[in-house]
Amino acid sequence: MHDIATFVAVAQYASFTRAAEQLGTSKSNVGKAVRRLEDRLGTRLFQRTTRAVRLTEDGETYLEAARAALDGLGEAEVALAARRLAPTGRVRLDVPVGFGRLLLPYFGPFRERYPQVTFDLSLNDRQSDPVGEGWDIVVRIGELPPEGDMTVRKLCTLRLGLYASAAYLGRREPIRAVQDLWNQDAVIFRSASGRLRPWSVLDAGRPAEISPKAPLIVADGRAMIDAAINGLGIAQIFDRVAQPHILSGELQRVLPEADVDGPPVHALIPLGRRMPAKTRVVLDHLAEIFRTPVG
C-alpha cells in the first residue's frame, strides 16, 4: 500500500522530486517504490524524460483505481476511528437470571441515549467463562478468585431478606421473631454444588443460620421467586431482585430486622488495549443502576 501511495503522489505532482518532498523521503526511495509497483504489475506506469514525468495509458488506468482504493481505505479508517470514539456495536452481556429481569426495564432508556448500541443478552445462573465464551461483560454474584486476564468492577453489595406473598402470610400465624420462622414453609435454593442453602439471618442482632422445613427446593433463582409469589412459602431473596415485586405488591417483606448483608456484585470485562466505547457506556450504565438505593 505504501508503493501505491507513492505512485499516486508522483502522478499528482508529475515529479519524483516533489513527491519525495511531500512524503518526507528521498527521491531514490520514491523511484524504488514506483519500480517495485511496475515490476509487480508488469507494465510501465510513467514515461520519464529529463524534463517531465507523464503517466502512460496503463498508468492513467491504474491511477484511477489506486485513488479509489486509497479513498476507500481513508473512509474506513475514519469510520473505525469514529467507532472507537462513539458507542457503536453489539455488547455481549451475561448476567444471572434474576438480575437480567431486573435490568431489562433499563435497556429502553439506554437505547434512546445510545441507539447504535445493541445487546446480546444471556440470562443464566451458571459460572460462564468470560474470555473463552467471548462475553464483553459478565455480571457475577459473590467473591471472586484472582483472575489476571479480567478487569473487575464492583457494582454493589446485596442484602438478603425474607419475602412471601400476602396470600401465604394471610393464612399463617404472624411472624414476630426468628423463632417463628421454624414453623413456616420455606422455599430453599439448591446451589450448583448440590448444597441446600440455609437462611442466614440476624437473631436479636446476632448472625444465625436456620433451615426450616422445605416443601419446595429449587435450583433456579427465578423459580424461587415465582414460588414465593404463588404462595408456596417464604423465600430468601436478594433485596434488589425482590424490589420490583415489592413495588408491584406480589411480595411482602418478612421480619426486616432479620435481613443480613449478602454477597457483592461484580462486572468482569476481558482485558484489552482499550475498552471499546460501547462496552464502557454499558458498564457505566450498570454501575448507575446499582448505585440507586433499594427502598
Q: Does 176 share its domain with 250?
A: yes
Name the grid cell of 249. Answer: 405488591
- pLDDT of the residue at 107: 87
146 contacts 223 by C-beta, under 8 angstroms: no
- Report for 25-34, 84-93, 148-157, 269-278: range of highest mean pLDDT: 25-34
Q: What is the CATH number of the domain that holds 151?
A: 3.40.190.10
pLDDT at 163 over 90: yes
Q: Are 133 and 62 found together in one domain?
A: no
> Which range of residues forms the domain containing residue 230?
158-263
Query: Does position 108 have pLDDT exceeding 70, yes or no?
Result: yes
Instruction: Give the integer Cα–Cα distance in Å for 177 and 174.
Output: 9
Q: Which residue has the higher pLDDT, 253 or 295?
A: 253
Query: The CATH number of the domain where 42 resides is what?
Result: 1.10.10.10
3-class SS of residue 129: coil
> Which is nearest to 200 in space by CA: 192, 212, 218?
212
- Residue 162: exposed, middle, or buried by beta-carbon count in 10 A (0-12, 13-18, 19+)? buried
**Do residue 259 and residue 162 come from a single domain?**
yes
Is the separation of the CB atoms in 223 and 210 below 8 Å? no
Q: Angle 97-113/277-291 helices, nearest 10 degrees?
A: 120
> What pLDDT band is residue 8 in, cutting at 50, 70 and 90?
confident
Backbone φ and ψ for 203, nearest 5 degrees, come out as -115, 105
pTM of the model: 0.63
User: 78 and 93 in one domain?
Assistant: no
> Looking at the structure, do residues 25 and 57 belong to the same domain, yes or no?
yes
8, 101: one domain = no
Same domain assignment for residues 256 and 162? yes
Mean pLDDT for the chain overall: 86
Residues 137 and 17 in one domain: no
| Same domain assignment for residues 251 and 212 | yes
- Rounded Cα gap, residues 3 and 35, in angstroms: 9
Q: Does 153 lie in the same domain as 168?
A: no
Looking at the fold, whether 224 and 190 belong to one and the same domain comes out as yes
pLDDT digits (tens, 9 = 90+) for 10-56: 888 888 888 888 888 898 998 898 899 889 889 898 988 777 788 88
What is the percentage of the chain residues whose pLDDT exceeds 70?
92
| Domain shared by 281 and 225, yes or no | no
How many domains is the chain built from? Answer: 3
Residue from 161, 160, 163 nearest 252 by CA: 163
Q: Give per-residue pLDDT as tens, 123-159.
A: 877 776 666 677 889 888 887 766 556 788 888 889 9
Dist CA 244 CA 250 (whole Å) = 9
CB 185 within 8 A of CB 162: no
- Residue 9 has what DSSP assignment? H
Lowest mean pLDDT among 84-93, 172-181, 230-239: 84-93
For position 142, what pLDDT does the model report? Answer: 82
